[in-house]
Amino acid sequence: MASVEAKLRQVSGIRKMNVDLASQTATVVFDPTRTDVEMLREAVKKSGYAPKSEEVTAA
């Protein structure tokens, strides 16, 4: 199973991320002109995990 972090790195527009498999969370700062939440969710799915929910905060 590919790592979540590796799949997220393939998404264009990610500025910063913190993936914690122990707590089953990922915090991602991204450029909304280059990617969106749905693309991030797809990357998580491709890593073999099911995204449960997201909280989006404008920076």
In a domain, 15, yes or no: yes
**CATH code for the domain in which residue 15 is found:** 3.30.70.100
pLDDT tens for each residue of 7-58:
999 999 999 999 988 888 889 999 999 999 999 999 999 999 988 887 777 6
Whether residue 27 is contained in a domain is answered as yes
Q: Is 42 helix (H, G, I), strand (E, B) or coil?
A: helix
Looking at residue 58, its pLDDT comes to 64
Question: Residue 30 sits in which domain range?
Answer: 4-46
- How high is the pLDDT of residue 1? 45
Strands (E), 1-59: 14-20, 25-30
Which alpha helices (DSSP H) does the chain contain, by range?
4-9, 37-46
Residue 53 covered by a domain: no
